[in-house]
Amino acid sequence: MLATGRVAKQKEIAQSTRRVANQGKATVLALGKAFPSNVVSQENLVEEYLREIKCDDPSIKEKLQHLCKTTTVKTRYTVMSSETMQKYPELATEGSPTIKQRLEIANEAVVQMAYEASLACIKEWGRGVEDITHLVYVSSSEFRLPGGDLYLSAQLGLSNEVQRVMFYFLGCYGGVSGMRVAKDIAENNPGSRVLLTTSETMVLGFRPPNKARPYDLVGAALFGDGAAALIIGADPTESESPFMELHYALQQFLPGTQGVIDGRLSEEGISFKLGRELPQKIEDNIEEFCKKLVAKAGSGSLELNDLFWAVHPGGPAILNGLETKLKLKPEKLECSRQALVDYGNASSNTIFYIMDKVRGELEKKGRGGEEWGLGLAFGPGITFEGFLMRSL
């Protein structure tokens, strides 16, 4: 019902205020989200988490309480639940070889969430699954052959000739990478309609706290699960309601920073190490990266505060550093901050949760809203992924 209402509202806006998409340019035609049923309130996290893993160390409790306050997160959605821990108590045992159990949980959950997000997206789009020509599938949370892209295609009833691309283990920038590839597909295959899905769960990275691994507690206080889906295509028909044009994409990595974000898969799952220098590395390189993107708008007078912003919130420190470095007005990153509050860091999904909030804000402003904007995400490498987008 909500998706139907949004479609009607978008079409009403289109008749009066919507800008016209450039011919041949990829556009976002619909967006859907999905989450697991278990909702975690940050207020209750410490007691519930420590009880589930049977930890009574007061120093760990104090550290986790501090992290819960500094992350700014209020709610998150998680596949992990008390029922999961009852079924798989070994997940709370230090050093236990549980990769088989973790994948058993994650593989099924990731596809299910991608399926639900895709259904919501397709409903908003208003056309049938038979019109989907390509699938771009992104996840850092499952591992198997064949991959989740095939299982999702079968569940949705896509054509057995749908052209599939799968991205595994790109981390937080995976959603923007998927969007970049979907843009290329849409613009080079006239009439194509690309379903882009991202789906993530932190099951592989869930570990009992250990003083030798302080980042595990950061993950417990920051990360969330969920899925997102977009329909991307060029030259929209009269029945479609594009809300964003994907004008230009850019990716770069920072040489010599491979160890700043480090993830390793073992018998115990995935272990992460995050260097303290990450926010500073991003801050030192972000201005030049943004200027390269903005230059593609073809307007020499466009300033950074003239744009709308969708920035993946790896954590508050990254948003704060970026805001200071680029001299952005506080309201420019409000959608990114609010997504962090509402969902936590949901890895590759997060950029699309932010874009959905940006869409809502721009709809309120109508033609008075910003025309141009940037979408940014950062991840292992250190890799920067960026988009120059145009609001329609």
Residue 275, pLDDT score: 86
The question of whether 68 is a catalytic residue gets the answer no
Residue 195, pLDDT score: 98
Q: Which class for 362: exposed (0-12), middle (13-18), buried (19 or more C-beta within 10 A)?
A: buried
Residues of the chain with pLDDT under 70: 1-17
Residue 8, pLDDT score: 58
The candidate with the shortest Cα–Cα distance to 33, out of 227, 195, 225, 201, is 227
Long-range contact pairs involving 145-153 (C-beta distance under 8 Å, separation at least 24)? 148/107, 148/110, 148/111, 148/114, 148/199, 151/111, 152/111, 152/114, 152/115, 152/118, 152/197
Contact 168, 198 (CB under 8 A): no
Spatial separation of the C-alpha atoms in residues 140 and 327, rounded to whole Å = 33
Domains 24-232 and 242-389 share a fold: yes
Each domain of the chain, given as residue ranges in start order, spans 24-232, 242-389
Residues in Cβ contact with 88 at an 8 Å cutoff, skipping those fewer than 6 apart: 98, 101, 105
CATH 3.40.47.10 correct for 24-232 = yes
Residue 212, pLDDT score: 73
- Total-model pTM: 0.93
Fold of the CATH domain 242-389: Peroxisomal Thiolase; Chain A, domain 1 (3.40.47)
Spatial separation of the C-alpha atoms in residues 99 and 268, rounded to whole Å = 5
Residue 28, pLDDT score: 98
The residue annotated as part of the active site, out of 68, 121, 172, 290, is 172
CA distances from 368 to 21, 371, 388, 389, 391 (A): 17, 9, 19, 16, 11
Q: Sign of dihedral through CA atoms 84, 87, 93, 98?
A: negative
